[in-house]
Structures are given as structure tokens and as C-alpha cells.
Amino acid sequence: MQITQLADEATGRYSYLIVDDKSRQALLIDPVEAQIQRDLALLRERKLTLAYVVETRKDPSGMSGAELLRDATGARFAASDLGTPSADIILRQGDYLEVGALRVDVLETPGEDGDGLSYRVGDQIFAGDAVAPSQGDDRLDDQAPHPALWDLPATACLWPGRAPESEPRRPITAADSSPGRRRSNAEPGVLGRIGNTPLIELRHVSPNPRVRIFAKLEGCNPSGSIKDRIALGLVREAERRGDLEPGMTIVEASTGNTAIALAMVARQLGYSIKVMVPEGVPPSIWDTLELLDAQIDWCKPCAGMRGAIEHARREAVRLGGYALRQFSNPLNVDIHYEQTGAELDDALDHVDVFVSGIGTGGTITGVGRRLRETNPGMRIVGVEPATGERLQGLQCIEDAFAPPLFDIELLNRRLRVTAAHSLEVMRMVGEREGLVVGVSSGATLSAAIREAQRLDRGNIVVMFSDGGWKYLPTRPWEAVERHDAELDEVHWW
């Protein structure tokens, strides 16, 4: 069963499209007359058969069409009426309708004065809208918010309509697969494809139909992660200052993605690259670095990133090379402020919550600062691994160290996510959205879903920092017992 909520911004009314997965028959319940053609076009697009257009109404007057409909269609239902231009059936309190495996039961009205009814589909209860208003109907002036649906079935898909707002807000202008106004990148060849990554709406994961979740797909960068941005930016700035010259070796500490990004940039610009990588990263990262002709120094896991950073500093001195210092170089933050944050600012006219992992601190600090300038009341949520656990690309502040670039004062909340839950959500994104994302993206989406449950309505932007292809050979979810891990939420302020 699929339940899609359709929203009409002009009237603030909702209708629902309920689909029987097996028969592909659909019920359109409580249609908005002004949007009926749009809804029918949606049905054609999804190749669905419309069984009935249904309205729920409290008023018991009118003739019954039960026998006529039963004879004509074979559907079983209690007293119903025909007679409105926008509906085949009017269901009143106590009525029910069955189509295929679907059964809709009309229940009591949710409010004493409203015409709208609630109804049950399977084990889910939904607040039905009033009968679709016609011109001159005084209910057109009723802009009271519709009751929110917090518990949709796991297969629910959400139409990207918005509920009426209590305060005027700018319209959403983001396209599903476009970052808005494309910013120029004058670099040659593959380097010119860094940045300007897609921003897409995740249509099948939000637990709240009033909240839209948008994901920034940084895995679409050439080497497969957000680290392409800082790799290119830090190298070009070092060249500009004269700190990096032809023939020198670039030296950096990384858990994987920065190393791969730097290896790609180094190959394009003619530099040697040596990376300090803690043991325990996925073997596919080793293979990629070797393919890109990077020199690898493995660091003991017990040394952590702090030990890898110190080793990189010493090695840069020994080789006469240049250490980019991604964890402490303030340009890391500036790049995300000027590029990533600006792309999001172009794409969405309003952001209510920004969710990002905490790694070097560059992304969440730079993007967070940029978005908060245009969305002063927005919330910024940082995501880190649960204490004692490891998640590729993320740092637990207590277990590791607070990166010098990380502006903790920006955050409204820090959320800790277990490895098990991150892997479950990583897999869920593939099943529901058709996206292969990294483990850290599973963690950030876990937090975004939790924020959607808390938010009344609005837009959430979540960073998907890399793609998941490099993790698939290890089949990471098989190493973790499947269970319903919960977010270990920490309220610091």
C-alpha cells in the first residue's frame, strides 16, 4: 500500500492518493477541485487505474447510491451518494469502501465544527479534509493548518506540496535535480566538474508530510566525495602563495576521501602525493589510492587522526614537501562558505534545518555560517559517531579531538549515531530512493529524519558527503547485527 499526500497551496487543503500495490488501483480521497487535473495527470504518470474519486462528508443528507455502485463495480460499501462534479462517491461517518485489498473506513469528525472526517486505511488513521470547496464557499477562507501525519507506513511516498503557513515565507524554488543557478568553475578538464553538485528531494523517507528533506549529493564530484572541493581549493591557494611549487610532494593525513581527492588533483596538476592513512579503512580505498599512484603510510589505529596528522607534519618537513593541513587550514571553512553554502543558498529560498557530519569541521562550519546569514532562525545539527564507535569520515569529539576549524557555537544540537543505525539507513536509502550513499550519509540522514519528526513544517538540508560504491565490497551491513538502533541524542544546550 502506498499513501501519497497532495497539497494545494492556494487553499491549504489536502487530498490523499491511496494505491493498492498489487492491483495498481487507486482511490483519490477528498480532492481539491482546482487541482483535480494535476492529480489525474499524476495517476497517468504512475500508470495507475483510478477506481474512485471519493469525498468524505459529515452531512447525512442526500440519496444513497450504494446499490447502483455495487452493481456497477462490485465494490462493497455502506450508504454512499453520487452527485458532485469532483467525486464518484461521498462517504459519510460510518461508511466504508473496499477496492482490491484496500478498505477505507470513515470515522468520526476530528473537530466539532469541521466537515472533515478521519478515516482508517489498514491500521493507519488519517485526518480527512473537508469536502473540496467550490467558488463562493466560505471555507476557502479557512486557513487553519491541517492535522499533521506523523506515522506514515514504511512504503509511504510524499507529494512535495506544502501546508499553509502561519507566516508568509518565500516560495521554494529548488528543482529536484538542480543546484539552482550554476556557479562557474574555470578549471580545465575533470577539475572543472568539481562542485555544483545536485540537490535532490528525498521523496520516500520523511516521516512528516509537512517537512521536505533535501540531500546534497557530494558523491557526484569526480573522485566521489565532498573532499574534491577542499583538495582543489587548498592546492590552488598554496600555489598562489608560492608554498607549493612544481616538483614538490603534497603530504596529508586522511581517513580516505581526502586522500583520494588529493591524489586525483595531484595527478591532474603534476604533483607527487603521500598520504598518512589510519589502518582499518576499507580495502577499496587502498586500491583506489594505489591506482592513482599515491604513496601510502599506514598509521596504527591507536594513534588516531591526531597521530596521523603529526606524522604528516614530520614527513612534510623530511621530504621538503607541503602539508595541506585540512584539519586546521581556515581555507577549508572558506571554501564551503563560498562554494557549497552558496550553492545551497541559490537552490533553496528557505532552509529550516541543516544537518551535516562532524569531520574536519569545515563543511558544517562553512555551510552553516553561509545559510544562517540568509536564514537567521535556522537550526544547525552536527552528527558524530556514538562514543567508542567508528564511522568513516566522522569524528566523535570526546573520543578524538575537537578540530580547530569546528565552530561548536554554531550548533543547536549534536546527535550521536551508532554504526548499526547508520548502516541500516544507508541500506534504506538504496531501497527507497535508489541511491548508493556512504556510511556517513546514513548517519546524517538518521539525524535528518529525527529532526523531521520534531519540526512542524519546513525544509531540511542534509549533506551526503560521498557515494557508497567504495564501501560495497566489504558488505558492511553484514558485519553488524541488524536491529532497530536508536539515536543516542545529546542535548548540550
Looking at the DSSP assignment, which residues form a beta bridge with residue 26?
Answer: 19, 50
Residue 240: burial class (beta carbons within 10 Å; 0-12, 13-18, 19+)? exposed
Q: Quick one: cell of 81? A: 451518494
What are the two backbone dihedrals, phi and then psi, of residue 263, each rounded to the nearest 5 degrees?
Answer: -60, -40
Q: Catalytic residues, which ones? A: 227, 440
In residues, how long is the chain?
Answer: 493
Q: Quick one: cell of 6? A: 497532495
* CB-CB contact of 80 with 65 (8 Å): yes
- Residues 6+ positions from 57 with CB-CB distance below 8 Å: 90, 91, 92, 115, 117, 131
Residue recorded with cell 541500506: 427
Please give, one letter per residue, the 3-state secondary structure of the chain.
CEEEEEEECCCCEEEEEEECCCCCEEEEECCCHHHHHHHHHHHHHCCCEEEEEEEEECCCCCCCCHHHHHHHHCCCECCEECCECCECEEEECCCEEEECCEEEEECCCCCCCCCCCEEEECCEEEECCCCCCCCCCHHHHCCCCCCCCCCCCCCCCCCCCCCCCCCCCCCCCCCCCCCCCCCCCCCCHHHHHCCCCCEEEECCCCCCCCEEEEEEEHHHCCCCECHHHHHHHHHHHHHHHCCCCCCCEEEEECCCHHHHHHHHHHHHHCCEEEEEEECCCCHHHHHHHHHCCCEEEEECHHHHHHHHHHHHHHHHHHHCCEECCCCCCCHHHHHHHHHHHHHHHHHCCCCCEEEEECCCCHHHHHHHHHHHHHCCCCEEEEEEECCCCCCCCCCCCCCCCCCCCCCHHHCCEEEEECHHHHHHHHHHHHHHHCCCECHHHHHHHHHHHHHHHHCCCEEEEEEECEECHHHHHHCHHHHCCCCCCCCEEECCC
